[in-house]
Structure 1
Amino acid sequence: MTETRATAEAARRPAPEDPARPAGPLPPLRPRRARPPRRGRRQGAGPFLLLAPFLLLFTAFGVFPLVAAAWTSFHRVELTAPGRAEWVGLRNYTRLLDDGFFWKALLNTLTIGVLATVPQLLLALGVAHLLHARLRGRQFFRVVALAPYATSVAAATLVFALFFGRDHGMANWALGVVGLDPVDWQNGPWASRFAVASIVVWRWTGYNALIYLAALGTVPRELYEAAALDGASRWRQFLHVTLPGIRPALGFTALVSTIGAVQLFGEPLLYASGAGASGGANHQFQTLGLYLYEQGWVNLHLGRAAAIAWAMLLILVAALGLARLIRKAAA
């Protein structure tokens, strides 16, 4: 008992202070500075070595063709003698300003682009909204939506050329059923542009719908639940939750569709049999891409074709710059 009591009293006593330890609270520890990693020559050149294949390919197939086309646009070069180049300055560009076929091709490009891009994106948004809902066989409908994109341009254009046939086409048959007169879908100015635009809409709606569908999956469900609790209808949820949530996807598809509209080539080339690069007997659906092909590979004027190519690039840059200014002004 005596030993136990002595042990308990010793446990209650404070521990003796260390004479080597300074009195008072301990000073705060200073955080050690992290030394910056040493960048050797191999580590600094590593990212450039990884990017070297891309930079080489981009320079060979991207930058060099642009520079070569710019150089050719200031010369008179014929396809029959590409080695002979005669300096003409801005003559190829000034001739475009007085060329009625160029302005008609530009008007056709803008018209077909609007007729194809606006319905295409609206339909794609509606299809994506339907596919995003919980319904049976969603995977099957997604594959069906992407099937037109996987179809070749030649096959799709051939089917639509038969569909819009003047004498035995299904479109005129449907018009006759409702009591309307048949339409010349290949020679009519607006009818032919509408027919070409319908091919673009059919081929690219599913592609844009899948992009919107992927973007819809990133919108949080909590936002829809909060909007429903606040009494917002489905339409107001779509306007104030869905559209702001997929805004980057909307901008991307609008940009890609605009570029595709300016570069439209395959559909109008193959639409009318025998029309070729002229875009019809009266150039009624000749786009800038067809006009470039006609000047360079039919009329053999490579200098003019290069000038048209750079004019298309400048028109596209101006259109995108104008759209950006409008967006900033609206914001």
Structure 2
Amino acid sequence: MSDITAPVTPARARSPWRSRLSRWDQKGSPYAFVSPFFILFGIFGAFPLLYTFWVSLHSWPLLGEHTFTGLDNYQKLLQDPQFWNAAKNTLGLFLVSTVPQYVLALWLAVTLNRKIMARTLFRVGVVIPNITSVAAVTLIFSMIFAKGFGLANWIIGWFGLEAVDWTAHTWSSWLAISMMVDWRWTGYNALIFLAAMQAISSELYEAAAIDGATRTRQFWSITLPMLRPTLLFTTITSIIGGVQLFTEPLLFAPGAGAIQGGTLRQFQTLTMYLIENGFTRFEFGYAGAVAWMIFLLVLIISLINILLVRRISGAD
């Protein structure tokens, strides 16, 4: 019996438009997937930033003509003592609030990472202050630090100390506002640190325990070095939030001159100074210059922080 061989059908040639579509799908689809972010960022981020810079190059009153003045607003800004006072208050509040906040957040994260009773309940509880309305938190803390009937003065009265007018002095207003910020954000940072700690391999701690390392030694030699990327992230976000601090100091001493941050501008931040120039004095060109100085300040501090963390990591 002879073998019967089926005729071989030649492969169908691929149409040109299908080939082009396949190549476009391989090369262009990744850009299509990420394009929504860049489109939204360009509309709501890059364009307002560039337009603010264009406004800052003009004398831009609420009514009247807009006159191009070049860098005059920036020259005026660098010679403005009120701007430097606001910058000092902003950086001071950032330092006073961030340092104890990080210490408490790390302590909370280490505690919640251990096997304790109702651990899940405590983990949920530490983030509750962050979801509370910032206006409500500020109003409550304003009553706590009230001069005549505040809880803070009642407590220090136990030790025979005189009542403090918390809004009248730089140090006292910084302390009160920093406590508001810490109360809201300590739990948030603690959960971020906790998530990073749980990603650390338990074998490292087991090996350290076998070598006789105490929990304190394990924290400094294992936990803290492994948390450096997380510390960098939280520091940058804290810098952005700290430089843009607005609601807490604004509502700390409400009234007609609340935007000035006290009678002597003792707790006026850069964002408050921006709003004062833009929407009280209606000097939009000058306010645009303040906005760009805030942007540059955040950028410079963030770059310095990144360089410091990289140098510390390289040294180890």
**Cα distance 1:66–1:253, how it changes in 2: closer, same or farther (>3 A)?**
same
Shift of 1:311: 0.6
Cα deviation per residue 1:167-220 (whole Å; 9 max; x = unaligned)?
A: 000000000011111111111111011111111000000100000111111111
CA distance in 2, matches of 1:230, 1:174: 47
Cα deviation per residue 1:128-153 (whole Å; 9 max; x = unaligned)?
A: 11111101111111121001000111
Partner of 1:66: 49
2:296 paired with 1:309: no
Shift of 1:56: 1.6
CA contact (8 A) 2:96 2:178 kept: yes
1:42 is aligned, of 5, 12, 25, to 25
CA contact (8 A) 1:115 1:197 kept: yes
Question: Aligned partner of 1:142: which letter?
Answer: R
2:220 paired with 1:239: yes
CA contact (8 A) 2:147 2:164 kept: yes
CA contact (8 A) 2:232 2:306 kept: no
Partner of 2:185: 204
CA distance in 1, matches of 2:54, 2:148: 48
Three-state SS of the structure 1 residue aligned to 2:166 is coil
CA distance in 1, matches of 2:115, 2:62: 58
Three-state SS of the structure 1 residue aligned to 2:60 is strand
Partner of 2:276: 294
CA contact (8 A) 2:232 2:305 kept: no
Partner of 1:57: 40
Question: Aligned partner of 1:307: which letter?
Answer: A
CA distance in 2, matches of 1:173, 1:148: 24
CA distance in 1, matches of 2:114, 2:309: 31
CA contact (8 A) 2:261 2:267 kept: yes
2:141 paired with 1:160: yes
Partner of 1:144: 125
Shift of 1:258: 1.2
Question: Aligned partner of 2:107: which letter?
Answer: G
TM-score where L is the length of structure 2:
0.89
- Size of the aligned set, in residue pairs, is 293
Partner of 1:11: none
Shift of 1:109: 0.5
Q: How does 1:241-280 map to 2 (within 5 A)?
A: 241-274=222-255, 275-280=257-262
Partner of 1:112: 93
Partner of 2:11: none
Shift of 1:324: 3.1
Q: How does 1:11-30 map to 2 (within 5 A)?
A: none
CA distance in 1, matches of 2:310, 2:238: 21
CA distance in 2, matches of 1:52, 1:132: 39
Partner of 1:15: none
CA distance in 1, matches of 2:204, 2:143: 47
CA distance in 2, matches of 1:130, 1:327: 25
Partner of 2:154: 173
**Cα distance 1:271–1:95, how it changes in 2: closer, same or farther (>3 A)?**
same
Structure 2 unpaired stretches of 5+: 1-18
CA contact (8 A) 2:89 2:269 kept: yes
2:298 paired with 1:327: no
Three-state SS of the structure 1 residue aligned to 2:177 is helix
Question: Aligned partner of 1:187: which letter?
Answer: A
What RMSD in Å do the two structures reach over aligned CA positions?
1.5
CA distance in 2, matches of 1:307, 1:282: 23
Question: Aligned partner of 1:132: which letter?
Answer: N
CA distance in 2, matches of 1:219, 1:314: 35
CA distance in 2, matches of 1:199, 1:79: 35
Cα deviation per residue 1:40-61 (whole Å; 9 max; x = unaligned)?
A: 1233222222233222211100
**Cα distance 1:43–1:326, how it changes in 2: closer, same or farther (>3 A)?**
closer
Partner of 1:282: 264
CA contact (8 A) 2:61 2:285 kept: yes
Shift of 1:329: 4.1
Partner of 1:97: 78
CA distance in 1, matches of 2:225, 2:36: 38
Three-state SS of the structure 1 residue aligned to 2:164 is coil
CA contact (8 A) 1:263 1:288 kept: yes
Q: What fraction of aligned residue pairs are identical, expressed as a percent?
A: 45
